[in-house]
Chain A
Amino acid sequence: MKNKLNQEYKQNISVKDANLWYGDFQALKGVCMEVPEKQVTAFIGPSGCGKSTFLKCFNRMNDLVPGCRIEGDFKIGDIDVYGKIDVNELRKNVGMVFQKPNPFPMSVYDNIAYGPRTFGITKRALLDEIVETSLKASAMWEELKDRLNKSALGLSGGQQQRLCIARALAVKPKILLMDEPTSALDPISTGKIEELCDELKKDMTIVIVTHNMQQATRISDKTGFFLLGELIEFGNTDDIFYDPKDERTERYITGRFG
């Protein structure tokens, strides 16, 4: 048990035969996928097809949904996500950014220090350093260094979202999950976050759900197309968008691009 807890998290995800039910409703049907490390993987598909559901399987946020039942193999490196692991440790290694920015109602500093403090870091100097590096990593240091003690709720939507990314980065995750992180933002803020993804993938694996196909083509290396709970096609982004194998993928892409 103790061994497992301290096991090093790798950065690639491998899913086999994932089925998921919300009560009687089957939201995922036999999904298999290999998410490569240190690349950006995008999930696309029409609304309600199960992208978020699948994403949330990686850090077990679905555990919070009553009546949710999951089958299949989810592995990060060789750690079994649904095995006997410490869920908090898992979530520390697999960070998540949500669709709507959700900064805590506290100062910018405390928001970012929240994660490290959760894992027992209390030394001010160390925290200061983490806050600075996280903000730098999310390209916000210059903007925010003078207002670290102001409430995070006073920031603009785009700043809040990047703060949430910084907050996720502060616990040094190996994998970062992002569920439509830019859908509530203006084009400029969106651009900043896309640049950020490019920067971050040097160190970590990124999985992003998006409704914006241009975004997928711009930032992702791999793309998966979901339809009604099934993974229809998964492969290199260029292949998916310019040479789709499945007719349904093509229809979806052309329909949306047109």
Chain B
Amino acid sequence: MISSKVKERAGCVIFTVAAVICVIAVIAIFVFMLIRGIPALGKIGFFDFLFGDKWSPDRLDTFETETLSGSYGIFKMIVGTLLATVGALAIGGTLGFFTAVFLAFYCPKKLKKVFSSMINLLAGIPSVVYGFFGIVFLLPLLANFAPNNGSGLLATSIILGIMILPTVVSLSKTSLEAVPRTYYEGALALGASHSRAVFGTMVKASRSGIFASLVLGIGRALGETMAVVMVAGNSVAYPDGLFGSFRVLTANIVMEMGYAGEVQQGALVATGVVLLFFVLIVNLIFGAISKRAIACGVNGKGFISKAFNKIFKRKEDRKENKQPGAFKSKLIKIKNKIGEVKDGVKYKINSSKIGAGFAIGSGILSASALLLVIGFIFVQGAPYLFTHPNLLFGEYQFNSEEITILPSIITTLMTVLLSLVIAVPIGICTAIFLNEYAQKNNIFVRLIRGAIDVLSGVPSIVYGLFGMLTFVVIIKGTSTILAGSLTVSIMLLPTIVRSTEESLKSVMDSLREGSLALGAGKMRTIFKVVLPSALPGILSAIILSMGRVISESAPFIYTMGSVISAMPSGYLDSNATLAVALYRLAGEGWYVNEAYATAVVLIVLVLGLNLLAEFIAGRLNKRLKGV
């Protein structure tokens, strides 16, 4: 009995500690960024930094030198970042919106699942693979119309557009599907066609949700690094037309951090702070909108159902009055009120038909984006894998004749292993603390939730910066697999915490009560009843996290190394993960075939894990339901 009490106490302490670690991680990231960024800002001058349009750092500038000989203005890059985001939104947002409409209302039931999971898979493809695809497919294609090799604003917008597509689609689709079906039926009852019911009523009713999905897409686009670096051109300039070369904030960090001088490094960290600031704003907007979306759902319901009630009443009136003409004019008036018909019936019908066309077209286009990216890379890369098995399994080589990526594969696996070992227990314990122990509106709990929200929005390159300034310095002074794994494990925390919490929430309280009522303690209840029920969700979060580690590259370049080296002998060695290796190989132009093959390996791994996650969750769910 006594020992069980000790266990309870110990459990509570462990869960709390885990939650505290999450908070500390966030605070540490912010504090370090500020500590390293502010002196540089002071030296450069706040306004000169933000609004100066000349960026030509001098490596020799230190904080001791009286005057700076380099210039550190990031305005051009701020503009570049914003333009790239707008471009991504124009392409990915539009396509995503119409695709969501397609999936929700036009897609035949049988195909819906296939289409949805194809678009979800887009989210799993590593950003270096997108960048590589941009280099080998998109740029040559665009070069036909461009004065240059095709890189620049347009290419960046297209690649980023594809990358934010799954985010926009999945959230928009959810909110479209959340609109009560009665709205749709009501609109049909008014004589609206399918398309008009969809675009006039359903889309309108879920517009806050759709808007929120676009904001989330913006967040994703702002923080993206590697794919952009590979296709943007990266000269510090205002993009001069669709094919003008430009540089975004994230690219600035990743391109110069490796050889930065003292003030320059500070300026790069400050660039990261600016980036964080943007992302935080986007997060806040997203939070505000999704709150409103929920509120609107309620109000909208009242409003629209009231409107429909009125209409049906009038229909009955008509039966009594037998005055069809009068009814028709009334009906149009009501329609006007709902805001469906503003410019006359005919025009509306046409525009919604066009909308339907767009929806179907977008759906097909989005799905083919996946097929194109994967198909193109496979066709180019897979045969090479078979003809050159040495690439995968050979003794370590790295010369103009032959290279092997086996060390990178091993490095990747080591990183996956260590980062999961660190992040999974902390993440799960934090989620348990939040869901099972904490009281709802406690300040500490709100702090942790806020911390996790913030963590999830932090761009991966900022994690990389943080890791470089802390773990690298503390551990060995140079990049190590250990430092990289630690860095990426912080990055995994928010996903693991959130999805674990979701799955814990979905476990019914009656099970907890049942266990407690039998005299079981809280720990036993959690470990024997709650966690097993939540297992499918937790497992798939873990598997997706593996995929995430494999896909990431920005956090690793300066923490873990970017050179494919000999087989690592331990966590204190430096090496490149597969994704980083692909970045290197793609950039060098010498090893195109090897790059294709590496991309194939990456895609197979990541998509395999995605499918596995889906499969396992499905299987376990079935088992839990007792079938």
Contact = CB atoms under 8 A, between A and B. Distances in A.
Nearest to B535: A105
Contact of B514 (A5, A66, A98): A98
Interface stretch (A148-156, A215-223, A231-239): A148-156
Contacts of A100: 510
Contacts, number: 79
B626 A151 contact: yes
Given A89-B1, A106-B532, A64 B513 contact: yes
Contact of B520 (A86, A95, A98, A118): A118
Contact of A88 (B4, B439, B528): B4
A152 B521 CA distance: 22
A168 interface: yes
A13 interface: no
Given A114-B515, A168-B518, A105 B1 contact: no
B532 A89 contact: no
A39 interface: no
Contacts of A154: 626-627
A227 interface: no
B623 interface: yes
Given A91-B516, A95-B518, A151 B623 contact: yes
Interface in B511-547: 511, 513-521, 524, 528-529, 532-533
B1 A104 contact: no
Contact of B626 (A115, A152, A168): A152
A105 B511 CA distance: 9
B624 interface: yes
A104 B514 contact: yes
Given A5-B1, A114-B528, A95 B625 contact: no
Interface string B227-240: 00000000000000
Which among B514, B517, B625, B626 has the greatest number of chain A C-beta atoms within 10 A?
Answer: B517
A92 B513 contact: no
Given A66-B439, A106-B532, A61 B513 contact: yes
Contacts of A151: 623-624, 626
Contacts of A153: 624-626
Contacts of A66: 439-440
B626 A105 contact: yes
Interface in B606-627: 623-627
A45 B24 CA distance: 52
Contacts of A118: 518-521, 524
Interface residues of A, number: 33
B508 A102 contact: yes
A215 B106 CA distance: 53
A76 interface: no
A103 B626 CA distance: 11
B520 A114 contact: yes
Nearest to B627: A154
A96 interface: yes
A100 B514 CA distance: 10
Contacts of A81: none
B510 A115 contact: no
A152 to B, nearest CB: 7
Nearest to A97: B517
Contacts of B533: 105
Contacts of B517: 59, 61, 91, 95-96, 98, 168
A162 interface: no
A61 B510 CA distance: 12
A20 interface: no
Contact of A102 (B511, B528, B532, B624): B511
Interface residues of B, number: 26
Given A89-B1, A102-B508, A105-B533, A119 B519 contact: yes
Contacts of A104: 511, 514-515, 528-529
Interface in A36-87: 59, 61, 64, 66, 86
Contacts of B513: 61, 64, 98, 102
Interface in B389-423: none
Contacts of A59: 517
A127 interface: no
A174 interface: no
A118 B4 CA distance: 10
Interface in B309-338: none
A171 B513 CA distance: 16
Contacts of B626: 105, 150-154
Nearest to B623: A151
Contacts of A105: 511, 532-533, 624-626
A127 to B, nearest CB: 15
Contacts of B624: 105, 151, 153
Nearest to A88: B519
A191 to B, nearest CB: 24
Contacts of A5: 1
A89 B439 contact: no
B516 A61 contact: yes
Given A102-B510, A102-B511, A102-B514, A115 B528 contact: no
B519 A92 contact: yes
A193 interface: no
Nearest to A107: B626
A248 B524 CA distance: 45
B524 to A, nearest CB: 6
A28 to B, nearest CB: 19
A171 B517 CA distance: 11
A176 to B, nearest CB: 11
A91 B625 contact: no
Contacts of A92: 518-519
A103 B533 CA distance: 12
Contacts of A91: 516-519
A164 B519 contact: no
Contact of A86 (B1, B510, B511, B529): B1
Given A89-B1, A106-B532, A171 B508 contact: no
A88 B508 contact: no
Given A98-B510, A102-B511, A105-B532, A64 B516 contact: yes
21 contacts: A64-B513, A86-B1, A88-B520, A88-B521, A90-B519, A96-B517, A100-B510, A103-B514, A104-B514, A104-B528, A105-B532, A106-B532, A114-B520, A115-B519, A115-B520, A118-B520, A150-B626, A151-B623, A151-B624, A154-B627, A171-B519
Interface of A: 5, 59, 61, 64, 66, 86, 88-92, 95-96, 98, 100, 102-106, 114-115, 118-119, 150-154, 164, 167-168, 171
Given A89-B1, A104-B515, A105-B625, 12 more contacts: A86-B1, A90-B519, A91-B517, A92-B519, A98-B513, A105-B532, A105-B624, A114-B515, A115-B519, A119-B519, A152-B626, A167-B514
**Across the A-B interface, the 7 shortest Cβ-Cβ residue pairs:** A153-B626, A92-B519, A151-B626, A154-B626, A96-B517, A102-B510, A91-B519
